[in-house]
Amino acid sequence: MTHHEHPDAALIRRGYEAFSAGDTETLAAMMTSDCTHHVPGESLISGHYKGRDNVLGGYYAKLAELTGGTFRVELKGVFVDGRGHAITAHRFHADRGDRGIEMDGGLFFTLVGDKISDIDECVADIVEADSFWGQGA
């Protein structure tokens, strides 16, 4: 069987590769200026990061800072509907202080004009994720 990857799936794969490489320039080019990343739970990282600069310089920078650069993600799959939506499944790993976390999660993307406009994040265990990241103010 031949596998033909949809352009939306290819875009999301490139985004995961850029994220893993710390390539914020490529990520910025892939997002709309008003892109929003929604992070579940009630932790230090939870909330709605509105605007490309806030997603990159706020949320993604906070992930790196809180984990001393140990945060990494392993993409398991990308699923698209051909109408501007993509869902991913991944496993993320990080260390923070004397704790570590390894958990399944996923992202739901909305794409507009071949750019990411919205990202909704889901995790396998919100309570455990909140415990790892620490409680927000």
CATH of the domain at 61: 3.10.450.50
Domain that residue 87 falls in? 7-133
Indicate the pTM of the whole model: 0.93
Average per-residue pLDDT in the chain? 95
Tokens matching residue 60: 């993604």
* pLDDT (0 to 100) of residue 3: 74
How many angstroms separate the CA atoms of 108 and 105, rounded?
A: 10
Would you say residue 44 lies in a domain?
Answer: yes
Would you say residue 80 lies in a domain?
Answer: yes
Would you say residue 108 lies in a domain?
Answer: yes
What confidence tens digit (pLDDT) does each residue in 89-98 have? Answer: 999 999 999 9
Would you say residue 1 lies in a domain?
Answer: no
Total domains, the chain? 1
Count CA atoms within 13 Å of residue 70 on its CB side.
13
* pLDDT (0 to 100) of residue 136: 61
Buried b / exposed e over 29-65, threshold 16 CB at 10 Å, is: ebbbeebbbbbbbebbbbbebebbebbbebbbebbee
Q: Which residues of the chain have pLDDT under 50?
A: 1
How many angstroms separate the CA atoms of 82 and 118, rounded?
A: 16
Q: Are 12 and 88 in contact (CB under 8 A)?
A: yes
Would you say residue 2 lies in a domain?
Answer: no
Q: Are 59 and 65 in contact (CB under 8 A)?
A: no
- Backbone CA torsion sign across 129, 131, 132, 135: positive
